[in-house]
Amino acid sequence: MDDGMGVSHLICDTCDRRFEPAEVSLTCPDCGPDRGTLTVHYPYEEIARTFTPDLLRARRDNSHWRYREILPVAGRPAVLHPRVGWTPLYAMPVLADSFGVERLWIKDDGLNPSASFKDRASSVGVARALAQGCKTITAASTGNAASSLSLFAACAGMRAVIFVPESAPAAKLAQLLIFGAEVLMVRGSYDQAFDLCLATAQERGWYCRNTAVNPYLGEGKKTAALEICEQLDFSVPDAVVVAVGDGCIIGGLAKGFADLVRLGFVDRVPRLYGVQAQGASPLVAAFDKGEQVAGHWPRATTCADSICVGRPRDHIKALRAVRETGGAMVAVEDEAIRAAMRRLARQAGVFAEPAGATGFAGLDHLKSRQLLTKNDKVVVLVTGNGLKDVTTARQAVSAQPHLVDANLAAVGRLLDSRERS
């Protein structure tokens, strides 16, 4: 019935071919890594007999392992910590009014252990690698996926080998190195690092945590959708808005909501809206043209480094996610992203990295195009913590510290002049 990890079968996103779990490890051999990404299935009917909303209501596990019955892992994984998922969903009535929607919630995934959404996927990847007896896990990334993987590999006592392009910023390397990952800095581009990582993993039998090509990672990402539903007491919002780079997160959300329908927990799914940065929006271009695959942008550019992607690896799932739910892909300028960082911090108390604030940055745009209306209940996902990139945060604010002499009279004069102005 399943593979010992709960999975019944996988289906190719392009040709619909069905695979037994043991038949395939990454992508569909007929369609290849670019178009042959796979979707994971479980014996839903059987699971739904015992896995119910009431069972979840009674469960006190404050992590995404509370959904282990529909995760591709055996039991509660040995990777018991750190506590991943079950991030807060904040109701924001004042912001809802100002955007002109009925309800607005912000889900803050910057509160995950490595401070980004990617922990949901890394934790599942490492749990599977452990169960399969792999001793080494690898990924190509300069950012959140790599630091997240390094953390979970360290917890599991596994070797992590991270491929980064030569341009990787020193600050991001700090997190990899402190977790003890081996870092291979490739004299070349991110795309070259990605391909080398894939080839090396195959050659050496390492477990591959690369975005999109590993179908099980999206299963970790879907847990954000499960949490949104449970935190709203098993109802679904009308719309969910999230930043999009490779497209894995929005694809994972779509899978999560689809699983909830299959289990009979809810009877509809929300419209999913993906927000890209204008300078790196191949998925928006594809969506606008009604295409099912994205083109490559060789010179993607945006201040939001985590979604600065010119060749979105999970394009098929991402485009399907917005198309099939009645949502859309939209783009925002970098200045809107910086404004969203300020507004999120000051009105919601959430310090987001630029990509983390990009979903929120799309709200005005979605409202002005009437894609969101006054009756909509909307959830916005924040995908990463602002401490990941304080440089851009500093650029996002024009205010400066006020220099003042160290005496009370000088302080008083300064404050009086500010209060008068």
Kindly identify the residues of this chain, within the stretch 349-368, that bind a second copy according to CB under 8 A: 349-351
Give the residue with the Cβ less far from a second copy, 22 or 399: 399
Q: Can you say whether residue 386 is alpha, beta or left, with left for phi > 0 and alpha for psi between -120 and 50 degrees?
A: alpha
Give the residue with the Cβ less far from a second copy, 269 or 355: 355
d(CA 358, CA 87): 18
3-state secondary structure 33-46: HHHCCEEEECCHHH
The binder of a second copy chosen from 158, 168, 319, 337 (CB under 8 A)? 168
Query: How do strand 9-12 and strand 18-19 relate by DSSP bridges?
Result: antiparallel
- Please report whether residue 336 would count as binding a second copy according to CB under 8 A: no
Query: How do strand 328-332 and strand 271-277 relate by DSSP bridges?
Result: parallel
Give the residue with the Cβ less far from a second copy, 15 or 178: 178
d(CA 73, CA 118): 17
Site string for a second copy, 12-51 (x = CB under 8 A): ----------------------------------------
Give the residue with the Cβ less far from a second copy, 325 or 385: 385
Cis peptide before 43 (omega within 30 of 0): no
Stretch of residues binding a second copy (CB under 8 A), selected from 214-222, 277-285, 366-374, 389-397: 389-397
Is residue 399 within a helix (H) or strand (E), and if so which, with residue range?
none
Stretch of residues binding a second copy (CB under 8 A), selected from 11-19, 31-39, 186-194, 323-331: 186-194
Other C-beta atoms lying within 10 Å of the C-beta of residue 156 = 19
Site string for a second copy, 81-120 (x = CB under 8 A): xxx--x-x-xx----------------x--x-xxx-----
Q: At its nearest, how many Å lie between a second copy and the CB of residue 394?
A: 4
Stretch of residues binding a second copy (CB under 8 A), selected from 10-18, 30-38, 150-158, 253-261: 150-158
- Please report whether residue 406 would count as binding a second copy according to CB under 8 A: yes
The binder of a second copy chosen from 173, 272, 286, 336 (CB under 8 A)? 173
Per-residue DSSP letter, 118: T
- Cβ atoms 292, 14 nearer than 8 A: no
Other C-beta atoms lying within 10 Å of the C-beta of residue 299 = 7
Stretch of residues binding a second copy (CB under 8 A), selected from 41-49, 159-167, 306-314, 371-379: 159-167
Three-class secondary structure of residue 237 per DSSP: coil
Closest listed residue to residue 99, CA positions, set 383, 382, 366: 366
- Please report whether residue 183 would count as binding a second copy according to CB under 8 A: yes
Q: At its nearest, how many Å lie between a second copy and the CB of residue 171?
A: 5
Enumerate residues 275-304 that contact a second copy by CB under 8 A. Answer: none
The binder of a second copy chosen from 347, 369, 413, 417 (CB under 8 A)? 347
Give the residue with the Cβ less far from a second copy, 29 or 180: 180
The binder of a second copy chosen from 164, 229, 309, 328 (CB under 8 A)? 164
- Cβ atoms 84, 119 nearer than 8 A: yes
d(CA 222, CA 214): 14
Per-residue DSSP letter, 370: T
- Please report whether residue 184 would count as binding a second copy according to CB under 8 A: yes
Stretch of residues binding a second copy (CB under 8 A), selected from 34-42, 162-170, 210-218, 267-275: 162-170
The binder of a second copy chosen from 18, 29, 45, 62 (CB under 8 A)? 62
- Cβ atoms 200, 303 nearer than 8 A: no
Q: At its nearest, how many Å lie between a second copy and the CB of residue 14?
A: 27
Q: At its nearest, how many Å lie between a second copy and the CB of residue 251?
A: 27
Give the residue with the Cβ less far from a second copy, 87 or 214: 87
Other C-beta atoms lying within 10 Å of the C-beta of residue 235 = 13
Provide the edge-to-edge strand list for the sheet that holds 239-243: 89-91, 103-108, 377-382, 239-243, 271-277, 328-332
Give the residue with the Cβ less far from a second copy, 15 or 174: 174
- Cβ atoms 35, 15 nearer than 8 A: no
- Count residues contacting a second copy (CB under 8 A)? 80
Q: At its nearest, how many Å lie between a second copy and the CB of residue 247?
A: 25
Is residue 261 within a helix (H) or strand (E), and if so which, with residue range?
helix 248-262
Closest listed residue to residue 321, CA positions, set 245, 248, 389, 268: 248
- Please report whether residue 205 would count as binding a second copy according to CB under 8 A: no
- Cβ atoms 69, 47 nearer than 8 A: yes
Q: At its nearest, how many Å lie between a second copy and the CB of residue 270?
A: 22
